[in-house]
A and B are shown apart, each in its own frame.
Chain A
Amino acid sequence: MDSDVLMDHNTEFQLMQVAEFSNHEERVWHLAWNPTRPLLASCSSDKSVNLYHYDTTGKFEQATSISTGHSKTVRAVAWAPSGKTLATASFDSQVGIWEQEEPEEEGGAPGEWECTILEGHENECKCVAYSSSGTLLATCSRDKTVWVWEVQPDSEFECVGVLMEHTQDVKCVAWHPTEEILASASYDDTIRLYVDDPDEDWYAFQVLSGHESTVWSLAFSPCGKYLASASDDLTIRLWRRAAQFKWEPIGMLRGHDRTIFSVSWGLGNGDGENAGWLASTGSDGKINVWEMKAPENGTLDSKLIATLRDAHSVSDVNCVAWNPRPGLGDLLATAGDDCSVRVWRITGVA
């Protein structure tokens, strides 16, 4: 399964832009859809986080901008599963945990965003992610480490693991959609998978090798049986869970001609064998969407169903993210070097 897609295909679907925001002053690095509320968050080298609101008709507007107080680029954002807490990862080595003050009176306007700081990384923090239960938070850094924090009441955090497995810069952390399995991707070209030993510490149970350059992004399939990884080697690799603690490669996708910075695996449109939609983007400015199918025979089939060149004009696209909320799985957001955030809807070609 090595789909070579270097030309535009006549695809069944197309991406229609539904919103564009250019409120950031510098490169936009990352995006996160709120899992419970109609909010999208973006973060930028301008050290701010912007929140955008959307209504049922699909109309988007900017809700607020948070000047984070981070002294350097805000590289990544992540919502807790509750949708109430937002985490930021910054090049200033800190992680910010943001919660909005309760309204002064019932029904009143919500208060300001307050921040708790997590320190520990030695230098640039690259990514942050909440586990599916919201009780764990993972962060990673150029200092080669991955940290796991336990989220406790009252904005307390306890470090439950410092994983020093990678030999280089760690670019991305991602949690399994239902279990407490953590994956990390690195400049050392590998992916590592970790679990908690209940009596002991977090440990790496497997190294996934195969990529020939930096692994930039990871996305578990919504069903949890697959993992996609995007790399500077211009491939997206697909991995399948073969046993409880064993993952194996099952395929490779091509379709970009410069570094792939981001992958996102959405629910898709819910067909029978549907394993969701996989979107990717990168330095070539292209958005690709694959329809993933997992038929009974155990294979994972992929078909490129939409592709869009120059999604952010001439710029790199740094992040792609599917809306995770039920019924909104056709919404995709991207962030680019052109300082813009764009929202797209994938629709069938009539």
Chain B
Amino acid sequence: MTFSGALTLTDLNDFITPSQACIKPVEEVKRPEDYKEPGAASTAIHVDSAGSYYEVTANGSLNGVSSSRKLETAQISLNDCLACSGCITSAESVLITMQSHEEVFNFLSTNPPRTSPEHRIPVLSISPQSLASLSASLSSSSSASISISQVLRRLRVICKNDLGFTHVYDTTFARHIALLEHAQEFSERRAGTGSAENKLPMLSSACPGWVCYAEKTHAEMLPFISRSKSPQQVMGTLVKHWLGEKWGKKPHQIYHVTVMPCYDKKLEASRQDFYNDLYSTRDVDCVITTGELELMMRARNSDLSASVPDEERHLSPSEPNFDDLPELLSHPGSSSGSYLQSLISEYLTDGSELSTRTIRNADYEEHVITNKSTGNVVFKGAKCYGFRNLQNVVRKVGKEAGVQIGRGAAGRLSSVRTKRNMSSRGGKNAEVEKDKAYDYVEVMACPSGCVNGGGQLKSQITRSQNQDNAEETSEARWGDKEWTKRVEEAYWHNLPTPPPSPSFSPVSAETYDPHVFANEFARRILVDLCKPHNGAESAWRTRMDADAEKMRASLFRTQYRAVESNVVGLQVNW
């Protein structure tokens, strides 16, 4: 099989790009003798053959002997990126060096043996979108299509045997929990039982590109963004806390790597909120992209196209097994996490009907649930992908909620008669009624969502070479769209657990229903981690006692903060 070429910096195409050169200032420790005598300074900076900078005292030093001092190289961490308003999202080169497959190799090669108390258990969790990308890539160079469950089984063998991981999971069960928590948060917001800040519409938070963009340029959107952790960070909680405890390990004794379709997931994992001060460790230690995982396998000469024993074995166990996390749970809806669909299935009842409207293309869809007898809108949600649609959501939500959009825009046009939307809509009450505000929006920064993430494998569709410039461009575009479609197909193809309708209802069925099983599993985890007073009575969608709720919030929710523009004059890009 042929994988795509290695990802290089220029291949990155996360859809919100850094807009400026990095302006992170370097802290300079001034020594007392500096500037003692203005006009007397007499050093120069020299660069040696290795590219290191040296400050050289040519003459005039006290003893008259020339000396040199190596200057420190500036270091920029991902946390600096998050705290800086210089560019909209990540400085790509920083992401590459701080969280990379080389970093993972580096860890694995220096990890002390299992017998050592210093040993950290290497765990790898892979997203279903990454599996779909690998599956599409494998299938394009093979006669038979390779399903994502086959890919997972093969990866498990490779990651354990060739790369040295102890455990390999997929992140769909973490997503199941994220969806439960997300639905719980939505019902809190809808009922007004959350904090005053918790407003509707609720906007999804699983896309770190979107979260980062909102924090830097649309602080007014932050109260609307779901506080529930993304599947990656829920997985971090499960691995470092719940599984760790089962293994008798503290969080810092586990090294957790996730494989994601997106570079910005590296930024997410680096957020201060996901750093454990007590153990000086992160819930996810290192994030690599699908492309980087492919590079790692290539570096170890691993062959993902070779089948492994039992790879087509049916996944559902004969009897529920609560020792290992459920795998490859499917959540119908979108290939970006099905956040909207999970809420729709909650509010869609026999007495109501769902209508779907595509606005322009599949990246912007409105879903409305109406009560069949009264005609009232029960729920109005939208799925909105890509930077362009994201702008419209920001505009629409800002207008509907009556918040001023843009940074510091309030009062900017006070001297002018600013046209109010209300005036032009006066007398059209019927339309206003119909034009109900959104309750929920599933927001993703990439067009086509996560299957088309910037960290995915490149298109395997070969492009015809001998065409003129213009046609070649549209050909390339077509190829990429077509490729995304194939990844999307791989994502849904031959799923081991096709659920007719997802239900978050209590365990009741005698037959194995993966969602029912997952709910029960999630309940046990919640009880284990939050230790509610009423113990086993608790379920994910019930409210527990205050202490347990506090624990739930700390384990499964997070927070956002606006990044203030604090660029000093010398750093201004102009």
Contacts and interface: CB of A to CB of B under 8 A. Distances in A.
**Are chains A and B touching in the complex at the 8 Å CB cutoff?**
yes
A158 B419 contact: no
B49 interface: no
Greatest chain B CB density within 10 A among A112, A147, A164 is at: A164
Interface in B385-418: 386-389, 391-392, 395, 405-406, 409, 412-418
Interface string A100-132: 000000000000111111011010000000000
B425 interface: yes
B109 interface: no
A115 B419 contact: yes
A346 interface: no
B411 to A, nearest CB: 10
B17 interface: yes
Interface residues of A, number: 41
A206 B477 CA distance: 13
Contacts of B414: 69
Interface string A70-111: 110000000000000000000010101001000000000000
A69 B474 contact: no
A114 B419 contact: yes
A92 B412 contact: yes
B424 interface: yes
B388 A206 contact: no
A159 B413 contact: no
B416 A69 contact: yes
Contacts of B343: none
Contacts of B19: 122, 143-144
A243 B412 contact: no
A199 B361 contact: yes
A155 B392 CA distance: 14
B447 A201 contact: yes
B: contact size bracket = 35 or more
A170 to B, nearest CB: 12
B412 A122 contact: no
Interface centre among B360, B387, B388, B481 (most CB of A within 10 A): B388
A204 interface: yes
Nearest to B406: A119
A206 B469 contact: yes
Contact of B392 (A71, A115, A158): A158
A62 B406 CA distance: 34
Interface string A130-173: 00000000000001100100000011011111101000000000
Contacts of B392: 158-159
Contacts of B217: 122
Contact of B424 (A68, A155, A158, A204): A155
Chain A CB count within 10 A is highest, among B360, B389, B470, B473, for: B470
Interface of B: 17, 19, 88, 217, 360-361, 386-389, 391-392, 395, 405-406, 409, 412-419, 421, 424-425, 447, 468-471, 473-474, 477, 481
The 9 closest A-B pairs by CB, nearest first: A69-B416, A69-B413, A245-B470, A119-B406, A159-B391, A154-B424, A114-B419, A246-B470, A162-B388
11 contacts: A69-B416, A69-B418, A112-B417, A113-B416, A115-B417, A122-B19, A158-B395, A159-B391, A201-B386, A203-B477, A245-B474
